[in-house]
Amino acid sequence: MMSEGWSRRNFLQVGVGAATVAGASQVSAESEERVVRKPHSKEHEIKTSIGIIGGSLGGCAAALAALKVGLDVVLSEETDWLGGQITSQAVPPDEHPWIESIANPSYSEFRRRIREYYKRNYPLSQSALKSPYLNPGFGNVSKICCEPRVALAALEEMLAPYRANGQLRVLLEHVPIGAETGGDEIRVVRLENHGEGGEVNVHADIFIDATETGDLLELAQVEHVTGAESRDQTGEKHAPDKPAPDNMQAVTWCFPVEYRGGEDHTIDRPEQYGYWKDYIPPLTPPWPGPLLSYTYTHPVTLEPRTRSIDPIREGKNEVSGFWRYRRIRYAGHYEKGSPGHDISLINWPMNDYMEGNFFNVTPEERERHTQGAKELSLSLLYWLQTEAPHDDGNGTGWPGLRLCPEITGTQDGLAKAAYIRESRRILSKFTVTEAHVGTEMRMEITGKDKNEVRAHPFGYSVGIGSYRIDLHPSTGGDNYIDISSLPFQIHLGSLIPVRVTNLLAACKNIGTTHITNGCYRLHPVEWNAGEAAGYLAAWCLKQGKNSHQVYSSEDLRNGYQSKLRGEKIPLEWPRFPPR
C-alpha cells in the first residue's frame, strides 16, 4: 500500500524526532495501543500520527494520502457520512471541462469507482453499461452527476483496506468542541460523541483541519479570516471598499426529488411558506422579484433571467432547464420499468439562504438559520408542487414531485447537512488573490489578450484546478460575483498557517480570499488541496521537520514536490487547455 520513497521503515527511523517536532505524544507509527479509556468515564484518549478533523472531501483525500504511505490516521466527521459536499450535502461534482484526462490519479480513481459501482449494482441498459464515461444522471453541471450514496460507497471502498488493517480509525458523529495548544502547536483536539455520548481527546503529531467551516481554526485560536476582505487589503478588482467579515456566500439546503406523473406527493404547507413566498432578497444590484419564482438574476450579466422546470419534457431531454441541470438519476440509462423516474438535485438560486451565517454566531442564531434554510428549501418544493406555472400556460404546480429520503439517508428528505460555500480561511504563508487567477486582472497586469493570458505561475505548486470565480449572493447583500478565471495552481503556502506549525488546511479553509474562494471551493480542487495536505504531513514526519521548515527550505520543498510528481499529481497545466 506504500508508495516508493514513503516506506514505513523511513517513518520509524524518524518517529521520535517527528513527534518531538510536532509537539505531540512521541508515539511511533507502530504503537499497538492507541486508545485508552479512563476508568469509569466516557472520555477516550486517542494517539495518532495524523489527526484529521472533518470528514469532508478534502479530509478523505488527506487521509488516503497519509494512509497510502504508511501512517496511522484518525478521521473525525460531524455527520454519519464521510464525503462532505458530494455526500452529506448531496451536491454532484462541479468540475472543469478536462477532468476526464487531467486530474489527480486518486480523484480519477474515485470517479472510476462511482461509475463501476453503478455498473455492478444498478439495472443499467446495455448502452449505459458499455459507456466508458457514464454520466449517471446525465446532468449538465458535471460529467459524473451521481447519487450521494454512490459517492459515499466509492469513498468507503477506497478507505476500507486501511480501516481493516487498523491504520485508519473513523469517528463518525464526532463534533470538535475544544483544543489544547502549547506555543505554536496544537496538542489535543477534543471531540464530542453525538452518537454514543462522551468525549474523545485526539493527540496527534500533526493535525489537519478539514471541517466544512474551519472549526479547528476557531477552537485552537489559529489566525484566520472570514467574509470579504477590502480592496485595500487584497488589491482585488472585485473586492469591496471596506472589509466585511460577516459577509459570506449564501448556504443551500439541497434536496433530491423525482417526478411521478399522475401521483400527488404534495408536502404539508411549510410553517414559513408565507414568509418565503413573499421574500425578495435585499441585494445590490436588485434581485428581479420574489425568490420563489422562475425569474432570477443571471450570475454573469446580473440581468433578469427566466428558466423553468418541466420534468416531463426534460426527462426526455427535449429541453435543458433547471430539472436537468443537477439531475443525478436519468431513467433513460435503465432497463425499461426500473427505476422509471429521473431524480434531480435541487440546488438552485431559489433556495440560496442569505439571511445569516452558520458560524461566528451564537448557537441560537445558528439553529435559527439552520431551520430557516430548511424551511426555504421546503417552501421552494411546496411552491413547485402547488403554484409553479407550466411552460405551456396550462395549469400550475407539479404535485408528482416526490422527496427522496432514500437518496439522502434522512427522514425529511433533505440533505444531511447544508451546502456551505464559504469557510473560515487560514491566514497563510501565501494567499491566492484575484490578481493571480482572475482573467481581467491578469490581462491588466500582463498586458496580454484573452487568448494569451495565463494565471500567475506558482513555483511552489502542489496541484491544479479550474473553475470560474463564482460567488453566490451573500449575507451582506451582494448579488452574484461571477467572473472569468484562468486554469490555476494550488500554492503550497495556502495550506500552511502563518504561525501554527503542526496544522494544515485541507478544504475551503485554505489561504484564499473571499473572491478566490469562489474558484477554489469546488470538488476536485478541494480533493487536491486535501491530498496535498496529507502528503505534506507525511513528508514533515518523514523528514523530522514541520511545515514551516519545509516551506522555507528549497531542498525540502523540492523533495516534497518531487514526491507529489512521483504520485502523478499534476503541478502545472499543459499549454493546450483554453480558459
pLDDT in tens, 60-81: 999 999 999 999 999 999 999 9
pTM for the model stands at 0.92
Cβ partners under 8 Å of residue 114, min gap 6? 136, 144, 146, 150, 151, 154
> Quick check: helix, strand or coil at residue 93?
coil
User: Residue 14's pLDDT is what?
Assistant: 33
378 and 446: one domain? Answer: no
> Are 222 and 314 in the same domain?
no
Task: Tell me which residue has cell 402547488.
Answer: 386
415 in any annotated domain: no
Cα gap 126→134, rounded to integer Å? 12
Q: CA–CA separation, 493 vs 101, rounded Å?
A: 27
The CA distance from 182 to 254, in Å, is: 40
Residue ending a domain, among 386, 408, 430, is 408
Number of domains the chain contains: 2
The answer to whether residue 243 sits within a structural domain is no
Q: What pLDDT is attached to residue 489?
A: 98
Q: Can you list the positions of beta strands (E) in 194-309?
A: 199-209, 224-225, 251-252, 255-259, 295-297, 304-306
Of 366, 384, 408, which marks where a domain is finished? 408
The C-alpha atoms of residue 182 and residue 501 are separated, in whole angstroms, by 11
**Looking at the structure, do residues 345 and 202 belong to the same domain, yes or no?**
no
Query: Do residues 174 and 285 both lie within one domain?
Result: no
Domain residues for the domain of 146 are 8-226+422-566
- 73 inside domain: yes
232 lies in a domain? no
**Contact (CB, 8 A) for 209 and 216:** yes
Q: What is the DSSP string of 303-330?
A: SEEE----HHHHHTTSS-SHHHHTEEE-
132 and 17 assigned to the same domain: yes
Within a domain: 465: yes
pLDDT value at residue 13: 32
Within this chain, do residues 427 and 552 fall inside the same structural domain, yes or no? Answer: yes
Is 242 within the bounds of a domain?
no
Residue 537: CB atoms within 10 A of its CB come to 32
> In this structure, are 131 and 266 located in the same domain?
no
Domain match, 58 and 185 both = yes
Q: Are residues 341 and 442 in the same domain?
A: no
Cα 308 to Cα 328: distance, rounded to the nearest angstrom: 18
Rounded Cα distance between 529 and 470, Å, is 18
Domain co-membership, 208 together with 264? no
- Which helix (H) or strand (E) is 401 found in, with range? strand 401-403
10-residue mean pLDDT profile of the chain (579 residues): values are 42 31 30 37 84 98 98 98 98 95 97 98 96 95 96 98 98 98 97 95 98 98 98 98 98 97 97 98 97 97 92 74 91 86 96 96 97 98 96 90 98 98 98 98 97 96 98 98 98 98 98 98 98 98 98 98 98 78
Residue 24 lies in a domain: yes
| Grid cell locating 17 | 524526532
Contact 467, 522 (CB under 8 A): yes
Domain with residue 32: its CATH number is 3.50.50.60
Dist CA 348 CA 365 (whole Å): 24
Query: Does some domain include residue 210?
Result: yes
Choose one of 352, 374, 408: the last residue of a domain: 408
The Cα 286–Cα 483 span in angstroms is 18
Residue 383 shares a structural domain with residue 435: no
> Do 58 and 160 share a domain, yes or no?
yes
